[in-house]
Amino acid sequence: MTAEDDLVAQLRDLVRRLNEMPDDREPTLTELGLRVQQHLGSDPSALPVTVENVSPHRLIDIDLALDDLGGDSATLLGISGGTARHHEDFASMLRSLHRGFTADAPVDYTSMADSPHTTRHVVALGLRLLHIDDHPIAVLQRAADRRFGRDTATLEVLASTPATAAAFIDRVRERANELSVVRGQVVTFGRNDYGHGVGSMTFLPRPEVSAASVVLPDGVLERVRDHVVGVAEHADELRAHGQHLKRGILLYGPPGTGKTHTVRHLLHEMPHATAVLLQGGALGAIGEAAQLARALAPAIVVLEDVDLVASERGMFGLQPLLFEVLDALDGLDGDADVAFVMTTNRADVLEPALAARPGRIDLALEIPLPGAEARRALFHLYAKGLRLSRAALDAAAADADGTTASFAKELIRRAVLRATLNRREADDEDLRTAFTELRESTEGISRVLFGGADAAGVPQP
């Protein structure tokens, strides 16, 4: 063994022994800790930190609320300390053996949508020092970040007592609901690809579908409208008479008959209601959607194609997600002005679940295939502005027995497309040709897919 090897061996031994020895140095306040101490007027390391988890999509509302509650005298500081600042919690940032963290770095921001077309900068990591009713409060605000194992955004709150911190958090929550960017907007949740929690939230423009463009059998649209829009319009009177406002509506019927179209009309009719749309895998976000609706009422929660949820889990006999959906309806107080509108083309799949949880749906309406009268109205509606004769449209409508409303729309689209490609205006001949082609092509598809023509809502030859 050379002298050098010997030295290395001794050093290794020394390091091992050092590591095994308890560290008897006192952790001291970091520069960040000193800054917080100055604000609170007492040693922050002696105070418990209250941690409040915030759904990622609500961070923007919380950010607005904190800006508002803090007022002009509040201070917002960025935290230094490299990536360690993402891993350490607030308490350990305040006290350290190495005095690592300071409060003089730039604040980290993230950009979040606050409407279909605009975004806002939101604090992703920053320390807010503020006063509420003369109580000094320090809040570390953080965005969710999967890179650091953070599934939710958080507020880590320090105040003179835990009760002050809890009261402060209640104030923030309340103000966040009042100022919410989602209030009066139409939003949808994506599927969460990570399997748990809620996917990202997207703002949608509010649809513009007038009553005149929805063709349904007499009285159907009025009944849906009264139940969803009418109740909201008379919310105060109904409440005064002790009537509950929460309501569950099921629209069922074959594909392409206008269930989604009807929902879009309802959204148009309620320009100030908060709307949360869920579809497919995102139906798992029902709990979150119900909470949001409750906080931002008047609201409408749309659950599209709920049968998919039911049939997906159907092989286990029970359908947990569907029951979750139904339980969310049950969980809200009756006086919340929230309408749950569900659509399905498989009422038969839903029936057992609905029977097992009665009282969740107070109106179930069939949106049927259009009859002769409705088909004529649909053909004329979608041919508006075109040079197609009344006789040709009436004849096509009469021949289209058994088709859906969407068939009428698609037929006119094809007639116009055919004419446009030939640099002409569409005429009756285009309508007739498109009719034959569309019938043949949909029959072809339905023969391949379903082994028959009727499954796709196509007229029988």
Ligand X SMILES: Nc1ncnc2c1ncn2[C@@H]1O[C@H](COP(=O)(O)OP(=O)(O)OP(=O)(O)O)[C@@H](O)[C@H]1O
Q: Segment 415-434, which members bind ligand X (CB under 6 A)?
A: none
Between residue 344 and residue 363, which ones bind ligand X under the rule CB under 6 A? 345
How many of the chain's residues bind ligand X (CB under 6 A)? 17
Contacted by 446, from Mg ion, ligand X, none: CB < 5 to 8 Å by type: none
| Tally: H helices and E strands in the chain | 18, 15
404 binds Mg ion (CB under 5 A): no
Partners of residue 276 on adjacent β-strands: 187, 301
Out of 258, 284, 298, 457, point to the residue binding ligand X (CB under 6 A).
258
How many angstroms separate the CA atoms of 441 and 372, rounded? 23
Residue 295 or 405 with smaller CB distance to Mg ion? 405
Shortest distance, position 251 Cβ to Mg ion, whole Å: 9
Coil, helix or strand at residue 120: strand
Any contact of residue 260 with ligand X (CB under 6 A)?
Answer: yes
Specify the stretch interacting with ligand X by CB under 6 A; choose among 79-87, 173-181, 224-232, 257-265.
257-265
Give the amino acid at 300.
Answer: I
Among 155, 176, 214, 453, binds ligand X (CB under 6 A): 214
Going from the C-alpha of 349 to that of each of 2, 309, 346, 353, the distances in angstroms are: 81, 10, 5, 8
Give the dihedral of Cα atoms 137, 140, 144, 145; nearest 10 deg.
180
The reply to whether 405 sits near ligand X by the rule CB under 6 A is yes
- Residue 258, contacted partner among Mg ion, ligand X, none, CB below 5-8 A by kind: ligand X
- The residue range among 17-25, 119-127, 234-242, 256-264 that interacts with ligand X, by the rule CB under 6 A, is 256-264
Q: Is 409 in the site for ligand X (CB under 6 A)?
A: yes
DSSP 306-343: HHHHHHHSGGGSS-HHHHHHHHHHHHS-TTS-EEEEEE
Helix (H, G, I), strand (E, B) or coil at 130: strand
- The span from the CA of 82 to the CA of 88, in Å, is 11
CB of 411 to ligand X, least distance (A): 11
Q: Does 215 bind ligand X (CB under 6 A)?
A: yes
- 142 or 259, CB closer to Mg ion? 259
**Pick from ligand X, Mg ion, none: which does 216 bind, CB < 5 to 8 A by kind?**
ligand X
**To the nearest 10°, the Cα dihedral for 373, 379, 380, 381?**
100
Helices (H), 343-427: 347-356, 372-382, 390-399, 405-421
Cα separation, 66 vs 171, in Å, equals 9
CA–CA distance, 300 with 267 (Å, rounded to integer): 8
Residue 261 makes contact with ligand X by CB under 6 A: yes
CA distances, 45 to each of 42, 53, 297 (Å): 9, 21, 41
Shortest Å distance, C-beta 344 to ligand X: 8
Q: Toward ligand X, which CB reaches closer, 162 or 254? A: 254
Q: Which residue is nearest to Mg ion (CB)?
A: 260
Of 5-13, 177-185, 349-357, 405-413: span binding ligand X (CB under 6 A) = 405-413
Q: Beta strand pairing status for 274-279 and 186-189?
A: parallel
State the minimum distance, in angstroms, from the CB of residue 283 to ligand X: 14
- Nearer of residues 263 and 329 to ligand X, judged by Cβ: 263
* DSSP string for residues in 222-271: HHHHIIIIIHHHTHHHHHHTT----EEEEEE-STTSSHHHHHHHHHHH-T
- Tell me the two tokens of residue 364: 């179930």
Identify which range of 259-267, 293-301, 334-342, 360-368 contacts Mg ion by CB under 5 A: 259-267
Phi and psi, residue 407, nearest 5°: -60, -45
Could you say whether residue 406 binds ligand X (CB under 6 A)?
Answer: yes
CB atoms within 10 A of CB 160: 14
Q: How far apart are CA 142 and CA 153, in angstroms?
A: 6
Q: Which is nearer to Mg ion, 37 or 345 (CB)?
A: 345
Q: Is 260 in the site for Mg ion (CB under 5 A)?
A: yes
Residue 188 contacts which entry, Mg ion, ligand X, none (Cβ below 5-8 A, type-dependent): none
Contact partner, 215, from ligand X, Mg ion, none, Cβ < 5-8 Å per class: ligand X
| CB proximity list for 81: less than 8 A, separation 6 or greater | 88, 93, 100, 101, 102, 105
Q: Which window, 98-106, 172-180, 258-266, 415-423, contacts ligand X (CB under 6 A)?
A: 258-266
Query: Which of the choices Mg ion, ligand X, none does residue 257 contact, using the CB cut-off of 5 to 8 A by kind?
Result: ligand X
Of 27-35, 52-60, 130-138, 260-268: span binding Mg ion (CB under 5 A): 260-268
CB nearer ligand X, residue 131 or residue 346: 346
Binding site for ligand X (CB under 6 A): 213-216, 255-261, 343, 345, 378, 405-406, 409
Give residues in contact with Mg ion (CB under 5 A): 259-260
